[in-house]
Structures are given as C-alpha cells and as structure tokens.
Amino acid sequence: MTALLEAHGLSLPGRLHGADLALAPGTLTCIVGPNGSGKTSLLHAIAGIGRPKGRIVVDGEDPDGLSPARRARMLGYLPAARDLDWPLMARDLVALGGASTEEIADALRTLDLEHVADRRLDRLSTGERSRVLIARVLAPRPRLLLLDEPTANLDPLWQIRLMEMLKAAVAANRQAALVAIHDLDAAVRFADRMLVMKGGAIVADGAPAEVIDSAHIRDVFGIEKSGGLWRPVSRSADRRSSP
C-alpha cells in the first residue's frame, strides 16, 4: 500500500535526530515519550515548522510547494498551546482552517460547539476552546492530521469521544493521524500503531499492545504496571535488575 506520509531523515538541530517514518492511510498512530523526548519536534518537522532538514512527501506531494488552500486539505496541525485569547468568534476561528461553510457547520456540530459558535474565544472555558481549535483542524478533513496532545484539557467523556471520533474519521476518510499523547492507556486503546520517543529519536514502533509490554516503557518512562496501575519503577527493583 502506498504510504500517505513518507518522511526521511527528519532533523531539527538539538531536538530531533534523523527520524524516518511512513504512515498508511486509514490509521491512527500515537506518539508517546517523556517531557522533552521530541514528540512536538517530530510533529513540527513534519509540519515544516522550525526549518527542519529531511524530506517529506504527503499523498505523493511536497507540502511546501502547495497553496494555503490545498495545504489545508493536505495537512492539519494542532499545536499543544491552547492559550489563544484573540477577540475572535469561535466560528470565525474554525473558518480560518480553510473548510467550506458545510464542513464548518459539520465540525461545530460534531464537536458539540454550536452553542458557543458565536461567542468570543477568550470567553470560552479551556476545554471548549480546545474543542474549537480541534474543530478548526478537523473541518477541512486534511489527508494528514498532526495533533499535539489533543485530549489535554478535555473532560473524561470528551477524551474518549475525541479519540473514538478520530479513529472512525481516519478509517472512513482514509486519512492518517499522528497524535502526541501522554495517556498511555488511551494510546493502547485507540491507536493502530504506537511510537515511543526518547532523546529526539523514535526508539520503539509497533502494535500498541506489544510496545506497551516491551522493556522500552520501563526504560523510557521509569514506570511499570502493577496491580492494574502505572507506578514508578522502585529503586530496589532497579538495584536488583542491575548487574
């Protein structure tokens, strides 16, 4: 199958060290890794933010050469920051994503935002504002979705709804989603594939159920599952396992 995204030798000085990645259409891939491991840097490099080195092909094209209108339907990027306080109506922000009137209405309905659509962004709750920013990215149905911590600030119901929605949308529309997320259990539950990052590199890549059971999780995060809960690896266990 032809990859929807092909990335070769992606680098950002001091942040990301030569990542190669191919994403198949119809798949949701979660990136996990500790703070500072390079998740945002990988998304930035694919989105062309920060003068990355390397080569990117999305759906057979170099996204750099595209007009803003075509690019909006090729690649959608949700930054981790949600502190937008522009004096702009929610509906107008969603419209900035390059979607049609019908697509905007559909995104507002799907993310249950119709009741806040004509309110100013700076007068929304943090979670409502997050959903508006997500609606902006999803509305034009870009082939490739790059989402940095999309479930941050969302209540438990919306965390589940959003991940279910993303999984269904990428499968139905043959999009590909690359999602940085800290919730390991959500990654395992919803992702088709999981990448683990450490020190600016992808150190594990595979089926979530296998990756989560691998020694990488213990080594990379310093946590392990015990009695159904994630717990810090105990120092005594560390000492026992070291030679």
| Binding footprint of ligand ATP on the chain (CB under 6 A) | 14-15, 33, 35-41
Q: Which residue number, 81 or 207, has a Cβ lying nearer to ligand ATP? A: 81
Least distance to ligand ATP from the beta carbon of 148, Å?
A: 7
Nearer to ligand ATP, 40 or 151 (CB): 40
Residue 105 C-alpha from the chain's centroid: 23
In the chain, which ranges are continuous DSSP H helix?
39-47, 68-74, 90-95, 101-110, 126-138, 156-173, 184-190, 208-212, 215-221, 235-241
Q: How far is the CB of 158 from ligand ATP (least distance, A)?
A: 20
**Angle formed by the axes of helices 126-138 and 101-110, to 10°?**
140
* Nearer to ligand ATP among residue 90 and residue 180 (C-beta): 180
Q: Which residue in 205, 207, 233 sits closest to 219, CA to CA?
A: 233
Q: By C-beta, is 37 or 175 nearer to ligand ATP?
A: 37
Least Å from the CB of residue 15 to ligand ATP: 4
Residue 176 near residue 144 (C-beta atoms within 8 A): yes
User: Least Å distance between CB 220 and ligand ATP?
Assistant: 11
